[in-house]
Amino acid sequence: MNNIVAKQGVEALPTAAKLMAFYLSRDRVLGLLNPQHLPAHVVAALQGHDVQMSAAILSNAAGSYLLQTIAAGRVKTLPQLAFEGELKEGTPFIYNGHFTGKGFAATNKTPALNLTERLDEPLVGKKLVFEFSKNGLVNDTAYTRMSGSTRLFAFGYITGIDDTTIRAVPYVIGDLVASSHAMTSPFVPTLELRPEDIEQFAGMDETWFPSQAEFKRMAMVSEQAIKELICWLLGEYSVPSDWGGEESDVLSANLLVDGYRHTGAFLLKGPARFHPMKPTDLGKNGDQLYRLFNIPAQIYVVQHCHTIGAAVRKQAEAFALARSFVSPCRIVFMDGFTTARLLRAHELWPATAPISRIGKPA
């Protein structure tokens, strides 16, 4: 389990994130971090000494060193480990999302606590179970924040895997928040960039919503047509051809955001499957998103002719979060409505509705 790089320095994190802990295993964290690179008051709090503001130290200060460890060790998500064949006991991972917390009620006299969640593709059919003790709760807020249906960030390692369950123990569980905000706010939403924030995509009429009949016209627009439009807008002179092993459909260093150029990697999905995007739509092995985030880029764009389902959004956000610990990045979702607005802004919106098999408008 200690195959993470444990070298702790004082370098700044690539992300603008801060970790506020509700649970922290002092013994496991001490075994993970190098005490020689920690301030004396942090070491004392982790060792259980009676130091002033020890709860605040464990809740706030210790988290920054754990985030540095995640960044240095390039700790991955469970889907990434699954795609790489590295899902095994002892492997560290991060998870950010929904949990159901059990054992936090005052009537529970045992020290046992757990957080559970059913996983999506590529681990659909399995549930994640974090098991830990009340002894590691660092403040009273933990009882309310971790109980019942909740959203949390967890960093831990796998202790067991069977056909239905991935069991794990945590180093730390808490809230990942944006450190640059005056008030505490979740960090993950800061990773998302709106399509219109890309200067080449500005000019869309955000007040226009196609009717249900109009939206069906997206089924007439090929993925190639979208690719050609994007390449033209970004000033790319050649349109890349599709091939089975591609990591992205378009890769360009010309995306302009706030007057600065950024490298963007695009995943495009046309109307071959005209329905809300699901993980199973993303390549033969469902690994197209995983391959997209293997590309070194600052902006990752997921485009689809229809709506983009929650499972795809969650997986993309998880990959973006993991990459953001190593290198700052943003993610853009361009669903069918946004794509329709972009086509319309450049006078490429189909003028007629698609025709059904019986020769009537669909």
Domain edge (last residue) among 188, 206, 227? 188
Q: What is the pLDDT of residue 37?
A: 83
| 2 located within any domain | no
Q: Please, which pLDDT band fits residue 6 given cuts at 50, 70 and 90?
A: very low
Structure tokens at 355: 């025709």
pLDDT tens-digit profile of 322-335?
A: 999 988 899 999 99
Do 96 and 232 have their domain in common? no
Percent above pLDDT 70 for the chain: 90
| Paired residues of 175 in beta bridges | 20
Do 120 and 46 have their domain in common? yes
Domain edge (last residue) among 152, 168, 188? 188
CATH of residue 180: 2.40.50
Do 48 and 179 have their domain in common? yes
| 173 located within any domain | yes
| 1 located within any domain | no
Do 200 and 334 have their domain in common? yes
Which residue spans within the chain are E strands per DSSP?
A: 17-24, 92-102, 112-118, 127-133, 148-161, 165-178, 250-257, 260-269, 299-304, 330-334
Structure tokens at 162: 């069977």
State how many domains the chain has.
Answer: 2
Amino acid at 127: K
Percent above pLDDT 90 for the chain: 62
Instruction: Give the Cα separation of 291 and 333 in Å (integer).
Output: 17
Do 207 and 232 have their domain in common? yes
| 68 located within any domain | yes
CB 6 within 8 A of CB 159: no
Q: What is the pLDDT of residue 209?
A: 92
Q: What is the pLDDT of residue 276?
A: 93
Cis peptide before 122 (omega within 30 of 0): yes
Host domain of residue 62: 17-188
Q: What is the mean pLDDT of the chain?
A: 87
The yes-or-no verdict on residue 14 having pLDDT over 70 is no
Q: What is the pLDDT of residue 44?
A: 80
Instruction: Give the Cα separation of 164 and 218 in Å (integer).
Output: 39
Residues with Cβ within 8 Å of 167's Cβ and at least 6 positions away in sequence, in order, are 129, 131, 158, 159, 160, 161
The yes-or-no verdict on residue 188 having pLDDT over 80 is yes
The alpha carbon dihedral of 169, 171, 174, 176 has a sign of: negative
Domain edge (last residue) among 188, 221, 254? 188
Q: What is the pLDDT of residue 362?
A: 45
| 362 located within any domain | no
Do 36 and 178 have their domain in common? yes
| 228 located within any domain | yes
Structure tokens at 66: 């754990």
Backbone angles phi, psi at 206, to 5 degrees: -70, -15
| 9 located within any domain | no
Instruction: Give the Cα separation of 310 and 39 in Å (integer).
Output: 42
**CA 140 → CA 18, 144, 153, 206, distances in Å?**
20, 8, 18, 45
The yes-or-no verdict on residue 309 having pLDDT over 80 is yes
Do 232 and 335 have their domain in common? yes
Q: Please, which pLDDT band fits residue 57 given cuts at 50, 70 and 90?
A: confident
CB 250 within 8 A of CB 227: yes
pLDDT tens-digit profile of 117-146?
A: 999 989 999 999 999 999 899 888 889 999
Residues with Cβ within 8 Å of 13's Cβ and at least 6 positions away in sequence, in order, are 64, 67, 68, 71, 325
Do 201 and 327 have their domain in common? yes
Do 100 and 74 have their domain in common? yes
pLDDT tens-digit profile of 256-284?
A: 999 999 999 999 999 888 999 999 898 87
Do 220 and 129 have their domain in common? no
Do 273 and 313 have their domain in common? yes
Q: Please, which pLDDT band fits residue 70 given cuts at 50, 70 and 90?
A: very high
Do 158 and 198 have their domain in common? no
| Paired residues of 10 in beta bridges | none
Instruction: Give the Cα separation of 201 and 233 in Å (integer).
Output: 8
